């Protein structure tokens, strides 16, 4: 997890409301319009159903209480306001208690296409629709409980599984490959790249492989893992994931499909 950011979360007022500026609401509106125009034929049906349930405003950033009113009813989850960056202990503790962290800032226009840090558009638009889905909610809750109890070394392996599922996961459907990862769904650039670029590969989701696959947060992904069905997230959640972590540590990491950051071509 990055320790540096130029963004700062807004504090809520005495009524629990965040006072967003007109410019921030305009960025939300532009992001929402752009992503909604890209999602047809690209996002999975489970995500689209959740997006419909949330009924996000096309003109303003939602208040967290509005999101909670939907999530609590659907799966018992809710979102919780956090600073721009939180440590792994707090992150896993929140997930273990069915609370999804949301930093109350939004990206600048300069980072419109892709942002390394999780802003409110990433968290609300990218992740919250699927938190209305029982399979996704169960997987995320299980992951949180495992991560909270894990060692620092084991958390590094668990982070890879999270990255290739919750953040950048794809799923096979009868209509073709679709997106369910929030890191893709909240990024205009990554949405197109993940399904249509020749610079990436799709691999069948094998949790042990995902645990062993390096990634970088500051590039379009070179590899995506594809679930054979959305409900198979239930099956992954019921695996002995920590035993798989032990196996992954013994086998070691795969060679990365990208250059080290300092050698990345400019």
**Binding positions for Fe cation:** 122, 127, 167
Binding-site residue ranges: 122, 127, 167
Measured between alpha carbons, how far is 140 from 127 in angstroms, rounded to an integer? 11
| Other beta carbons within 10 Å of 2 | 10
3-state secondary structure of 181: coil
121: left (phi over 0), alpha (psi -120 to 50) or beta: alpha
Q: Is 257 exposed, middle or buried (0-12, 13-18, 19+ CB in 10 A)?
A: middle
Q: Read off the DSSP letter of residue 229.
A: S
Beta carbons of 107 and 27 less than 8 angstroms apart: yes
Give the phi and the psi of residue 11 in degrees, each rounded to 5.
Answer: -85, 145
């Amino acid at each position: 997890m990055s320790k540096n950011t130029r963004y700062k979360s807004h504090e809520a007022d005495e009524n629990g409301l965040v006072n967003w500026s007109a410019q921030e609401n305009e960025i939300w509106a532009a992001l929402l319009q752009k992503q909604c125009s890209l999602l047809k034929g690209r996002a999975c049906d489970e995500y689209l159903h959740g997006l419909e349930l949330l009924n996000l405003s096309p003109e303003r950033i939602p208040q967290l209480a509005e999101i909670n009113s939907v999530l609590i009813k659907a799966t018992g989850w809710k979102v919780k306001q956090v600073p721009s960056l939180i440590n792994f202990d707090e992150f896993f503790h929140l997930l273990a208690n069915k609370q999804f962290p949301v930093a109350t800032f939004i990206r600048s226009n300069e980072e419109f296409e892709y942002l390394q840090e999780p802003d409110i558009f990433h968290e609300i638009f990218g992740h919250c629709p699927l938190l209305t889905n029982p399979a996704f909610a169960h997987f995320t809750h299980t992951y949180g409980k495992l991560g909270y109890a894990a060692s620092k070394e084991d958390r590094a392996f668990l982070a890879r599984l999270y990255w290739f599922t919750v953040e950048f996961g794809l799923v096979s459907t009868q209509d073709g490959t679709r997106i369910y990862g929030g890191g893709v769904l909240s990024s205009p650039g990554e949405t197109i790249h993940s399904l249509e670029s020749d610079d990436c590969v799709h691999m069948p989701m094998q949790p042990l492989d995902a645990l062993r696959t390096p990634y970088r947060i500051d590039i379009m992904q070179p590899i995506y893992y594809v679930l054979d069905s959305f409900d198979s997230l239930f099956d992954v959640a019921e695996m002995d994931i920590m035993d798989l972590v032990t196996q992954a540590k013994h086998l070691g990491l795969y060679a990365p499909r990208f250059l080290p950051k300092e050698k990345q071509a400019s």
